[in-house]
Amino acid sequence: MKNIDVCLTPDLLHLHNIDNTIVIVTDIFRATSCMVTGFAYGVKAIIPVETVEECQALQAKGFIAAAERNAQKVDGFELDNSPFSYMDEKLIGEKIAMTTTNGTYSISKAKSSAVKVLVGAFLNLNAIVEYLKTQPYDVLVLCAGWKGRTNLEDTLFAGALVDAVQNEYFVAEDSAIMSMRLYQQAKDDMLGYLANSSHIRRLQRLGINKDISYCLQRDLYDVVPVLRGNELVNM
């Protein structure tokens, strides 16, 4: 039987052997929710990069560029980190270079050894589940967290995914069990459940309640972003 496991922050990825594993990176507020939205609206590719400087270099080569640090847009870039900014005709068929505080960092950490790196969000949860059914590999959900710390919303996504596939995968490790139980506790009112979480408070100070509600919607899009070389594309 295949295994599913959860890594609660990229700072714990060293504990996992991912050689034979599909890694699903999630950063619910808001990097992976933006990526999924972008692909659903026709973006051709997203190049996740670690630094603002790399993002500027790609911008100079004609990429549309998106850079977020500490939940805010970096000056001089076209796109911010709101999923609504990715619902734009101008982006159809385009390539986007993107760097964010946590999400793109996690993708970089996973890509060296995983079989495949996918991007997950509540918005494409069922599409991920359906894809995994066709795959023989173990699965690790990598929560992007916040600067190395675990966060509630990414853990809830991990738990939702474990919950959805628990009959097909062996759920051996406590981090996966904990994530699933938190999700089961939260699922009927995720917004209420998250009301006191650290990142919600951080985002509410920035006035983006609309983004929060949007990112918690489930199965809006049938897209599965996958890393091919250095580019994320829709599978």
Task: Give residues in contact with a copy of itself (CB under 8 A).
Answer: 8-9, 11-12, 14-15, 146-152, 155, 171-175, 177-178, 181-182, 185, 196-199
Query: For a copy of itself, which is the closer residue by CB, 5 or 80?
Result: 5
**Least Å distance between CB 183 and a copy of itself?**
11
Give CA torsion, residues 216, 194, 12, 37, to 10 deg. Answer: 20
Beta carbon nearer to a copy of itself, 122 or 193: 193
CB 234 within 8 A of CB 136: no
Q: By C-beta, is 99 or 175 nearer to a copy of itself?
A: 175
In the complex, minimum distance from the CB of residue 184 to a copy of itself, in angstroms, rounded to a whole number: 8
**Shortest distance (Å) from residue 31 CB to a copy of itself:** 17
Exposure of 47 in the CB half-sphere (CA atoms within 13 A): 20
- 197 burial (CB, 10 Å; 0-12 / 13-18 / 19+) is middle
Residue 133: CB minimum distance to a copy of itself, A: 23
Is there a contact between 117 and 18 (Cβ–Cβ < 8 Å)?
Answer: no
Question: Of 7 and 220, which has the nearer Cβ to a copy of itself?
Answer: 7
Closest CB 223 distance from a copy of itself, rounded Å: 28
| Nearest to a copy of itself of 38, 103 (CB atom) | 103
What is the identity of the amino acid at 82? S
Q: Say whether 121 sits in a helix, a strand or coil.
A: coil
DSSP three-state, residue 218: coil
Q: What is the largest CA-CA distance in the chain?
A: 49
